[in-house]
Amino acid sequence: MTLKEIKAGQSACVISVGGSGALRQHFLDMGIIPGTDIKVIKYAPMGDPVEICLHGYELTLRLEDADKIEVESIPDRINKNTKSSSYFSEHLGLGEGGRFHPKGSGDPLPDDTTLTFALVGNQNSGKTTLFNQLTGSKQHVGNFPGVTVDRKDGAILGRPNTIVTDLPGIYSMSPYSSEELVSRNFVLNEKPKGIIDIVDVTNIERNMYLTMQLLELGVPTVVALNMMDEMTGNGGSVDINAMEAMLGVPVVPISASKNQGVQELIDHAIHIAKYQEKPERQDFCDENDHNGAVHRCLHAVIHLIEDHAKSADLPVRFAACKAIEGDQIIIEQLNLDENEKETLEHITLQMEKERELDRSAAIADMRFSFITKVCETCVKKPKENREHTRSHKIDKILTGKFTAIPVFIVVMALVFFLTFNVIGAGLQNLLAMGIDALTGLVDKGLTSAGVNKVLHGLIIDGIFEGVGSVLSFLPIIVTMFLFLSLLEDSGYIARVAFVMDKLLRKLGLSGRSIVPLLIGFGCTVPAVMATRTLPSERDRKMTILLTPFMSCTAKLPIYAFFVDAFFKNYKALIMIGLYLLSIIIGILIAFLYKKTMFKGEAVPFVMELPNYRLPSVKNTLQLLWEKSKDFLHRAFSVILVATIIVWFLQSFNFRFNLVDDSQESILATIAGLIAPIFKPVGLGDWRIVTSLISGFMAKESVVSVLEVLYGSEGGVTAAMSYISALSLLVFSLLYTPCVAAIASIRRELGHKWAFYVVFLQCAIAWVAALIVHLIGLLIGVV
């Protein structure tokens, strides 16, 4: 039978792991190895994915993936796996008993060498928290070359000539998503002087799996055992000295969020990097395990490829493991000749035969056996992890069969209410008042100084008006991100992904996409920015392309105006209809993407549900600051230029004279030229086209521009028919997002995709408006 058939609460033992390539390697890296006991914890409310427990940690899998894991049912064996037999009387506090790695004989690096460190660890192990502690606020945020994955660099506080880089979270050195490849390539190619390996001690078996592979690299490494506060708080402890002896690198217990042990960690890190002290031990294969099958195989391969690894500039033990596992990227780099390849294959086959496990499983099992030994010797696990128990209790409700979705709806509604009605809106009003006051002041000043009319217009109507209207987004974005980062940090977003995965997979997305998509109903800008939390590049791209279909709040004034003026009796019907229309079109487009552009393999959904934790204030503030900075930066570059261009087109005629009648402006002329395109959809008036163009700056301005051009509110209603009002509603619902949103999309996906979104949305809007118009004509609405 397969894992899929095991009921919640029951256990099973893995017999074989199916699947192929990266996915299978990923299963093995996560500890799903033949012989492992797995307990099924729960199924998501919609029946998929499933959460399982193995090696003392928890993971979620999709049923489709669980179906690839062959198991046999074992009702009562799981308890044997918890290692409560080994106890340590001695209790080590933070940093106690830590010792410097014995000094190497080599000379220290010269004083002016910049010590570069890579901060490597699993997701949720506390990398970002530690990074913020290490660097304070002096950090540089950017992207890794070629991919939109956050890259943060910063100097260690008070330690000149140091750079720490916060890498994306990885579970192993077998790349499985583009983010993991980023981390692996950073460590392999950029050759940091030291690695700070951050290990979540409450989840030590899984976290150490990466540690084992890092040690193989032969780069000076220090292990930071994070979350020590939770461990000791629950009565657990770690024998740091014993662990150092077993691993051959300094181990420092820390609590990143409480800033404990961090100074000691810095001392060790700088020491090992300065003296280039490589890990003392890399040989983790046991020569007695199964007659030393894996051990002999590994060492044979090490000798076989030694020269190749050297010329390819790869750490030899790492390269040997990868070569045995069949990692094509590494095998290619090694550049083995045919004979050597054959020898490699023979050695590996022999090992598989003796070990009775396939190559990848055998290597993974070798690592986990060593980890088990380390944990049995050095770690006294708390009998009960309070945070874990508490998380399970909270999960009963937040991921419960009948409660999960209602709770999710309430949480999102609350976030929206607070952002758009209470906090964000309040701040927005304040800011708008401030901007108005400043504009008034500058206006007066310019007038009294007798400044040239054109310059005056540029400053007041162009720059102040334009950037002011965009700046007024800022409070909404900041508030939205405040709530988002609280939800993300607390661990709730991972649950949302777990609950929603089944639904979103039908569209070719994964569970996490639901959050950016929902935020899109508020404002596309933070929605696009929120896609940063999506672990896969493919999902991120697709989600970004779908956010414009979520009608943002800035369009509400347009709906309100026209529904009020034309469809008073059908208010609710039209409003609901509009939202439904864009969602339905969005879903259709998603299906289309799934079948065409994004056909590639859906990224497997192996993730963990971290314990619920109180988010750290410092992290949250730092994130808010980054997001605001990012947005302000954009407001003053792309958006400023765009507003000035529109102001110019609006204020001048083709002879570059300032116009008094807006009908003569360049914009009006252009709008007049475009207007015929809008004739078939019933919007062929240059004034309507002008208002739509100005809507590209900010959707709120569509109505006000219409009013100005038609002279009054009554003028607009008098000039338009029911059917053209309906067309206009549908068109504004779907056409291009505003310039701020496009600027965000450009930042995430580049120019090409930004243009693509503008054109695609306009085209879809046009077609939809045409259909509405034609239907309207057919059934005789006028």
Instruction: Give the footprint of Mg ion on this chain (CB under 5 A).
Output: 127-128
Residue 348 or 616 with smaller CB distance to ligand GDP: 616
In the complex, least distance from residue 618 CB atom to ligand GDP, rounded to whole angstroms: 9
Of ligand GDP, Mg ion, none, which one sits near residue 211, judging by CB under 5 to 8 A according to partner kind? none
The token pair that represents 462 in the structure block:
């162009």
Of Mg ion, ligand GDP, none, which one sits near residue 11, judging by CB under 5 to 8 A according to partner kind? none
Of ligand GDP, Mg ion, none, which one sits near residue 232, judging by CB under 5 to 8 A according to partner kind? none
Which residue, judged by CB position, is nearest to Mg ion in the bound state? 128
Residue 84 or 143 with smaller CB distance to Mg ion: 143
Residue 127 or 322 with smaller CB distance to Mg ion: 127
Residue 129 or 469 with smaller CB distance to ligand GDP: 129
Residue 168 or 586 with smaller CB distance to ligand GDP: 168
How many CB atoms within 10 Å of residue 283?
Answer: 15
> What are the CA-CA distances from residue 365 to residues 20, 55, 198, 199, 361 (Å)?
17, 12, 22, 20, 6
Residue 120 or 749 with smaller CB distance to Mg ion: 120
Q: How far apart are CA 480 and CA 506, in angstroms?
A: 27
Residue 118 or 638 with smaller CB distance to ligand GDP: 118
Of ligand GDP, Mg ion, none, which one sits near residue 333, judging by CB under 5 to 8 A according to partner kind? none
Residue 120 or 252 with smaller CB distance to Mg ion: 120
Label the pairing between strands 150-154 and 162-166: antiparallel
In the DSSP assignment, the letter for residue 47 is S
Of ligand GDP, Mg ion, none, which one sits near residue 475, judging by CB under 5 to 8 A according to partner kind? none
In the complex, least distance from residue 260 CB atom to ligand GDP, rounded to whole angstroms: 8
Of Mg ion, ligand GDP, none, which one sits near residue 139, judging by CB under 5 to 8 A according to partner kind? none
Residue 128 or 226 with smaller CB distance to Mg ion: 128
SS (H, E, C) 192-232: CCEEEEEEEHHHHHHHHHHHHHHHCCCCCEEEEEECHHHHH
In the complex, least distance from residue 328 CB atom to Mg ion, rounded to whole angstroms: 29
> What are the CA-CA distances from residue 439 to residues 58, 133, 431, 443, 445 (Å)?
56, 41, 12, 6, 10
In the complex, least distance from residue 758 CB atom to ligand GDP, rounded to whole angstroms: 34
> What are the CA-CA distances from residue 677 to residues 219, 364, 382, 681, 731 (Å)?
63, 63, 71, 8, 13
Q: What separation, in Å, do the N-terminal and C-terminal C-alpha atoms of the chain show?
A: 65
Of ligand GDP, Mg ion, none, which one sits near residue 194, judging by CB under 5 to 8 A according to partner kind? none
The token pair that represents 738 in the structure block:
């505003």
Of ligand GDP, Mg ion, none, which one sits near residue 615, judging by CB under 5 to 8 A according to partner kind? ligand GDP
Among left, alpha and beta (phi > 0; psi -120 to 50; other), residue 97 is left
In the complex, least distance from residue 706 CB atom to ligand GDP, rounded to whole angstroms: 47
Residue 173 or 227 with smaller CB distance to ligand GDP: 227
> What are the CA-CA distances from residue 404 to residues 361, 387, 396, 487, 493 (Å)?
36, 20, 9, 15, 12
Task: Please name the residue that has the structure tokens 């409070």.
Answer: 475
Residue 117 or 559 with smaller CB distance to Mg ion: 117
In the complex, least distance from residue 510 CB atom to ligand GDP, rounded to whole angstroms: 18
Of ligand GDP, Mg ion, none, which one sits near residue 282, judging by CB under 5 to 8 A according to partner kind? none
Of Mg ion, ligand GDP, none, which one sits near residue 489, judging by CB under 5 to 8 A according to partner kind? ligand GDP
In the complex, least distance from residue 230 CB atom to Mg ion, rounded to whole angstroms: 18
Phi, psi for residue 95 in degrees, rounded to 5? 75, -10
Q: How far apart are CA 262 and CA 265, in angstroms?
A: 5
Residue 153 or 283 with smaller CB distance to Mg ion: 153
Phi, psi for residue 605 in degrees, rounded to 5? -110, 75
Q: Considering only CA atoms, which of 722, 657, 649 is closest in space to residue 689?
A: 649
Task: Please name the residue that has the structure tokens 């020491």.
Answer: 271
Beta-ladder partners of 141: 152
In the complex, least distance from residue 636 CB atom to ligand GDP, rounded to whole angstroms: 29
Q: How far apart are CA 227 and CA 128, in angstroms?
A: 13
In the DSSP assignment, the letter for residue 106 is S
Of Mg ion, ligand GDP, none, which one sits near residue 51, judging by CB under 5 to 8 A according to partner kind? none
In the complex, least distance from residue 156 CB atom to ligand GDP, rounded to whole angstroms: 17
In the complex, least distance from residue 250 CB atom to ligand GDP, rounded to whole angstroms: 18
How many CB atoms within 10 Å of residue 72?
Answer: 9
In the complex, least distance from residue 561 CB atom to Mg ion, rounded to whole angstroms: 44
Residue 128 or 732 with smaller CB distance to Mg ion: 128
In the complex, least distance from residue 117 CB atom to ligand GDP, rounded to whole angstroms: 15
Question: Are 716 and 724 spatial neighbours (Cβ–Cβ below 8 Å)?
Answer: no
Beta-ladder partners of 142: 151
Q: Residues interacting with ligand GDP, by CB under 6 A?
A: 121, 123-129, 169, 226-227, 229-230, 255-258, 489, 613, 615-616
Q: How far apart are CA 763 and CA 618, in angstroms?
A: 45
In the complex, least distance from residue 232 CB atom to ligand GDP, rounded to whole angstroms: 11
Q: How far apart are CA 585 and CA 579, in angstroms?
A: 10
Q: How far apart are CA 532 and CA 361, in angstroms?
A: 33
Task: Please name the residue that has the structure tokens 């570069």.
Answer: 116
In the complex, least distance from residue 150 CB atom to Mg ion, rounded to whole angstroms: 8
Of ligand GDP, Mg ion, none, which one sits near residue 121, judging by CB under 5 to 8 A according to partner kind? ligand GDP
Phi, psi for residue 690 in degrees, rounded to 5? -60, -45
In the complex, least distance from residue 265 CB atom to ligand GDP, rounded to whole angstroms: 12
Of Mg ion, ligand GDP, none, which one sits near residue 616, judging by CB under 5 to 8 A according to partner kind? ligand GDP
Q: Which residues contact 390 (CB under 8 A, 6 or more apart)?
A: 611, 612
Among left, alpha and beta (phi > 0; psi -120 to 50; other), residue 148 is beta
Q: How far apart are CA 570 and CA 661, in angstroms?
A: 37
Phi, psi for residue 135 in degrees, rounded to 5? -105, -10
Burial class (CB in 10 A: 0-12, 13-18, 19+), 465: buried
Residue 400 or 615 with smaller CB distance to ligand GDP: 615
Of ligand GDP, Mg ion, none, which one sits near residue 168, judging by CB under 5 to 8 A according to partner kind? none
In the complex, least distance from residue 607 CB atom to ligand GDP, rounded to whole angstroms: 12
Q: Which residues contact 178 (CB under 8 A, 6 or more apart)?
A: 147, 149, 536, 537
Of Mg ion, ligand GDP, none, which one sits near residue 124, judging by CB under 5 to 8 A according to partner kind? ligand GDP
Residue 496 or 552 with smaller CB distance to ligand GDP: 496
Q: Which residues contact 393 (CB under 8 A, 6 or more apart)?
A: none
Burial class (CB in 10 A: 0-12, 13-18, 19+), 522: buried
DSSP 3-state percent helix, strand, coil across the chain (nearest 5): 60, 10, 30
Residue 256 or 741 with smaller CB distance to ligand GDP: 256
Of ligand GDP, Mg ion, none, which one sits near residue 761, judging by CB under 5 to 8 A according to partner kind? none
Of Mg ion, ligand GDP, none, which one sits near residue 125, judging by CB under 5 to 8 A according to partner kind? ligand GDP
In the complex, least distance from residue 128 CB atom to Mg ion, rounded to whole angstroms: 3
The token pair that represents 169 in the structure block:
């979270």
Residue 128 or 428 with smaller CB distance to Mg ion: 128
